[in-house]
Protein backbone atom coordinates (compact mmCIF):
# COMPACT_ATOMS: atom_id res chain seq x y z
CA UNK A 1 0.00 0.00 0.00
CA UNK A 2 1.33 3.42 -0.95
CA UNK A 3 1.41 6.17 1.69
CA UNK A 4 0.32 9.78 1.20
CA UNK A 5 0.46 12.89 3.35
CA UNK A 6 -2.22 15.48 2.55
CA UNK A 7 -2.10 18.87 4.25
CA UNK A 8 -5.27 20.94 4.49
CA UNK A 9 -7.26 17.71 4.66
CA UNK A 10 -10.15 19.30 6.55
CA UNK A 11 -10.89 21.75 3.71
CA UNK A 12 -13.15 21.18 0.73
CA UNK A 13 -10.40 20.41 -1.76
CA UNK A 14 -8.06 18.62 0.64
CA UNK A 15 -10.77 16.33 1.98
CA UNK A 16 -11.82 15.36 -1.55
CA UNK A 17 -8.23 14.58 -2.53
CA UNK A 18 -7.72 12.51 0.62
CA UNK A 19 -10.89 10.53 0.04
CA UNK A 20 -10.09 9.76 -3.59
CA UNK A 21 -6.55 8.69 -2.69
CA UNK A 22 -7.97 6.29 -0.10
CA UNK A 23 -10.24 4.89 -2.81
CA UNK A 24 -7.08 4.31 -4.88
CA UNK A 25 -5.65 2.22 -2.03
CA UNK A 26 -3.38 4.84 -0.49
CA UNK A 27 -2.95 5.02 3.26
CA UNK A 28 -3.50 8.73 3.90
CA UNK A 29 -2.31 10.87 6.78
CA UNK A 30 -4.72 13.81 6.63
CA UNK A 31 -3.27 16.92 8.25
CA UNK A 32 -5.32 19.74 9.69
CA UNK A 33 -4.75 22.85 11.78
CA UNK A 34 -8.43 23.52 12.37
CA UNK A 35 -11.32 21.22 11.56
CA UNK A 36 -10.50 18.18 13.66
CA UNK A 37 -14.19 17.22 13.61
CA UNK A 38 -14.15 17.04 9.79
CA UNK A 39 -11.11 14.76 9.73
CA UNK A 40 -12.44 12.56 12.53
CA UNK A 41 -15.71 12.10 10.63
CA UNK A 42 -13.74 11.27 7.47
CA UNK A 43 -11.77 8.67 9.40
CA UNK A 44 -14.97 7.04 10.62
CA UNK A 45 -16.22 6.71 7.04
CA UNK A 46 -12.99 5.91 5.19
CA UNK A 47 -11.61 3.40 7.67
CA UNK A 48 -14.50 1.09 6.81
CA UNK A 49 -12.73 0.41 3.50
CA UNK A 50 -9.33 2.10 3.64
CA UNK A 51 -6.79 3.85 5.85
CA UNK A 52 -7.14 7.51 6.85
CA UNK A 53 -5.39 8.93 9.89
CA UNK A 54 -6.08 12.50 11.05
CA UNK A 55 -3.00 14.41 12.19
CA UNK A 56 -2.90 17.89 13.74
CA UNK A 57 -0.10 19.92 12.14
CA UNK A 58 1.23 23.46 12.48
CA UNK A 59 2.77 24.29 9.10
CA UNK A 60 4.50 27.32 10.58
CA UNK A 61 6.94 24.99 12.34
CA UNK A 62 9.68 23.13 10.47
CA UNK A 63 10.18 20.88 13.50
CA UNK A 64 6.55 19.74 13.29
CA UNK A 65 6.92 19.00 9.57
CA UNK A 66 10.01 16.91 10.28
CA UNK A 67 8.25 15.05 13.10
CA UNK A 68 5.31 14.28 10.80
CA UNK A 69 7.60 12.79 8.15
CA UNK A 70 9.40 10.73 10.78
CA UNK A 71 6.08 9.52 12.16
CA UNK A 72 4.83 8.53 8.70
CA UNK A 73 7.89 6.42 8.01
CA UNK A 74 7.94 4.86 11.48
CA UNK A 75 4.24 3.99 11.27
CA UNK A 76 3.76 3.10 7.60
CA UNK A 77 7.29 2.40 6.41
CA UNK A 78 7.44 4.92 3.57
CA UNK A 79 6.18 8.17 2.02
CA UNK A 80 5.13 7.92 -1.63
CA UNK A 81 3.14 11.12 -2.04
CA UNK A 82 2.89 14.58 -0.54
CA UNK A 83 -0.04 16.81 -1.45
CA UNK A 84 0.43 20.37 -0.16
CA UNK A 85 -3.14 21.62 0.00
CA UNK A 86 -3.19 23.78 3.14
CA UNK A 87 -3.76 27.43 2.39
CA UNK A 88 -5.22 30.65 3.75
CA UNK A 89 -6.17 33.98 2.20
CA UNK A 90 -7.58 37.42 2.86
CA UNK A 91 -9.48 39.65 0.45
CA UNK A 92 -8.35 43.21 1.09
CA UNK A 93 -6.25 45.95 -0.51
CA UNK A 94 -2.58 45.35 0.25
CA UNK A 95 -2.38 48.36 2.58
CA UNK A 96 -5.26 46.91 4.63
CA UNK A 97 -4.21 43.26 4.49
CA UNK A 98 -3.34 42.31 8.07
CA UNK A 99 -2.45 38.67 7.43
CA UNK A 100 0.00 39.03 4.55
CA UNK A 101 2.96 37.58 6.45
CA UNK A 102 0.87 34.66 7.70
CA UNK A 103 -0.40 33.99 4.16
CA UNK A 104 3.15 33.78 2.82
CA UNK A 105 4.25 31.69 5.81
CA UNK A 106 1.51 29.08 5.42
CA UNK A 107 0.99 28.96 1.65
CA UNK A 108 4.58 29.21 0.45
CA UNK A 109 6.87 28.56 3.40
CA UNK A 110 4.64 25.74 4.66
CA UNK A 111 4.88 24.06 1.26
CA UNK A 112 8.66 24.35 1.30
CA UNK A 113 8.86 23.05 4.89
CA UNK A 114 6.84 19.95 4.02
CA UNK A 115 8.93 19.23 0.93
CA UNK A 116 12.14 19.56 2.94
CA UNK A 117 10.73 17.12 5.50
CA UNK A 118 9.62 14.34 3.13
CA UNK A 119 12.26 14.54 0.41
CA UNK A 120 15.02 12.68 2.29
CA UNK A 121 12.76 9.62 2.48
CA UNK A 122 11.64 9.87 -1.15
CA UNK A 123 15.19 10.31 -2.38
CA UNK A 124 16.28 7.31 -0.35
CA UNK A 125 13.60 5.22 -2.09
CA UNK A 126 14.44 6.69 -5.49
CA UNK A 127 10.80 7.51 -6.14
CA UNK A 128 7.99 9.77 -5.01
CA UNK A 129 5.47 12.39 -6.00
CA UNK A 130 4.81 15.89 -4.73
CA UNK A 131 1.70 17.78 -5.83
CA UNK A 132 1.32 21.38 -4.71
CA UNK A 133 -2.12 22.96 -4.83
CA UNK A 134 -1.58 26.42 -6.24
CA UNK A 135 -4.11 28.84 -7.80
CA UNK A 136 -4.75 30.62 -11.07
CA UNK A 137 -3.91 33.79 -9.14
CA UNK A 138 -0.35 32.49 -8.97
CA UNK A 139 -0.18 32.94 -12.75
CA UNK A 140 -2.18 36.12 -13.38
CA UNK A 141 -2.66 37.75 -9.95
CA UNK A 142 -5.81 39.12 -8.37
CA UNK A 143 -6.57 42.62 -7.13
CA UNK A 144 -7.12 42.71 -3.38
CA UNK A 145 -5.36 39.36 -3.05
CA UNK A 146 -1.78 40.47 -3.65
CA UNK A 147 -0.22 38.46 -0.83
CA UNK A 148 -2.20 35.34 -1.74
CA UNK A 149 -1.26 35.74 -5.42
CA UNK A 150 2.40 36.20 -4.48
CA UNK A 151 2.35 33.09 -2.29
CA UNK A 152 0.90 30.97 -5.08
CA UNK A 153 3.24 32.47 -7.68
CA UNK A 154 6.05 31.43 -5.37
CA UNK A 155 4.61 27.92 -5.16
CA UNK A 156 4.60 27.72 -8.96
CA UNK A 157 8.23 28.81 -9.29
CA UNK A 158 9.23 26.49 -6.45
CA UNK A 159 7.44 23.59 -8.13
CA UNK A 160 9.32 24.05 -11.39
CA UNK A 161 12.69 24.53 -9.72
CA UNK A 162 12.31 21.53 -7.42
CA UNK A 163 11.17 19.33 -10.31
CA UNK A 164 14.44 20.11 -12.10
CA UNK A 165 16.40 19.39 -8.94
CA UNK A 166 14.97 16.01 -7.96
CA UNK A 167 13.72 14.51 -11.23
CA UNK A 168 17.01 12.75 -11.88
CA UNK A 169 16.54 10.99 -8.53
CA UNK A 170 13.11 9.64 -9.39
CA UNK A 171 10.88 12.22 -7.71
CA UNK A 172 8.25 14.12 -9.67
CA UNK A 173 6.94 17.54 -8.60
CA UNK A 174 3.86 19.20 -10.09
CA UNK A 175 1.24 21.75 -9.15
CA UNK A 176 -2.50 21.97 -9.74
CA UNK A 177 -3.85 25.52 -10.06
CA UNK A 178 -7.61 25.71 -9.45
CA UNK A 179 -9.80 28.57 -10.59
CA UNK A 180 -13.06 29.34 -8.80
CA UNK A 181 -14.00 26.27 -6.76
CA UNK A 182 -17.12 25.88 -4.62
CA UNK A 183 -15.55 25.72 -1.16
CA UNK A 184 -15.77 27.52 2.18
CA UNK A 185 -12.91 29.79 1.11
CA UNK A 186 -15.32 31.49 -1.31
CA UNK A 187 -18.33 31.45 1.03
CA UNK A 188 -18.12 35.20 1.65
CA UNK A 189 -19.08 35.99 -1.97
CA UNK A 190 -22.67 36.91 -2.75
CA UNK A 191 -24.83 34.94 -5.17
CA UNK A 192 -24.48 37.81 -7.62
CA UNK A 193 -20.69 37.66 -7.35
CA UNK A 194 -20.76 33.94 -8.12
CA UNK A 195 -23.12 34.44 -11.06
CA UNK A 196 -20.83 37.11 -12.53
CA UNK A 197 -17.84 34.78 -12.23
CA UNK A 198 -19.77 31.90 -13.77
CA UNK A 199 -20.69 34.11 -16.74
CA UNK A 200 -16.96 34.70 -17.37
CA UNK A 201 -16.14 30.99 -17.42
CA UNK A 202 -16.37 29.41 -20.90
CA UNK A 203 -17.76 26.16 -19.45
CA UNK A 204 -20.42 28.22 -17.63
CA UNK A 205 -20.02 26.54 -14.27
CA UNK A 206 -17.87 26.89 -11.22
CA UNK A 207 -15.49 24.13 -10.28
CA UNK A 208 -15.90 21.45 -7.64
CA UNK A 209 -13.35 19.88 -5.29
CA UNK A 210 -13.66 16.70 -7.36
CA UNK A 211 -12.45 18.59 -10.46
CA UNK A 212 -9.26 19.42 -8.57
CA UNK A 213 -8.88 15.93 -7.10
CA UNK A 214 -9.24 14.42 -10.57
CA UNK A 215 -6.38 16.63 -11.80
CA UNK A 216 -4.20 15.39 -8.94
CA UNK A 217 -4.97 11.79 -9.90
CA UNK A 218 -4.11 12.57 -13.53
CA UNK A 219 -0.71 13.94 -12.52
CA UNK A 220 -0.07 10.81 -10.47
CA UNK A 221 -1.09 8.50 -13.31
CA UNK A 222 1.19 10.01 -15.96
CA UNK A 223 4.78 9.22 -15.06
CA UNK A 224 6.20 11.54 -17.75
CA UNK A 225 4.71 14.70 -16.26
CA UNK A 226 6.86 16.81 -13.95
CA UNK A 227 7.45 20.51 -13.33
CA UNK A 228 4.00 21.37 -14.67
CA UNK A 229 1.31 23.75 -13.44
CA UNK A 230 -2.01 22.11 -14.34
CA UNK A 231 -4.75 24.75 -14.58
CA UNK A 232 -8.25 23.62 -13.58
CA UNK A 233 -10.53 26.60 -14.16
CA UNK A 234 -13.05 25.79 -16.91
CA UNK A 235 -11.19 28.15 -19.25
CA UNK A 236 -11.64 31.15 -16.95
CA UNK A 237 -8.12 32.51 -17.44
CA UNK A 238 -7.69 31.78 -21.15
Task: State how far the Cα of 52 lies from the Cα of 132, in Å rounded to an integer.
Answer: 20
- Catalytic hit among 26, 55, 148, 224: 148
Q: pLDDT tens, 75-96?
A: 999 999 999 999 999 999 999 9
The CATH class of the 2-232 domain is alpha beta
Q: pLDDT tens, 5-24?
A: 999 999 999 999 999 999 99
Query: What residue segments make up the domains of the chain, in order of their start?
Result: 2-232
Task: State how far the Cα of 4 lies from the Cα of 224, in Å rounded to an integer.
Answer: 20
Residue 148 annotated to the active site: yes
Task: State how far the Cα of 126 lies from the Cα of 171, in Å rounded to an integer.
Answer: 7
Q: pLDDT tens, 130-141?
A: 999 999 999 999
- Is the pLDDT at 63 greater than 90? The verdict is yes
Gyration radius (Cα) of the chain, Å: 17
pTM of the model: 0.97
Amino acid sequence: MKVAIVTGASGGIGSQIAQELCEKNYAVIGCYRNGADVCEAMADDINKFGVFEPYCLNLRSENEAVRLAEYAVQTYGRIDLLVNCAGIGEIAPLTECNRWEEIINVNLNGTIRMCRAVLPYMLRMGSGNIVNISSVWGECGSACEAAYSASKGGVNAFTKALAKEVGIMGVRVNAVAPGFIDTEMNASLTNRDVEDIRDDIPLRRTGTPKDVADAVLFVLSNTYVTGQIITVDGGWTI
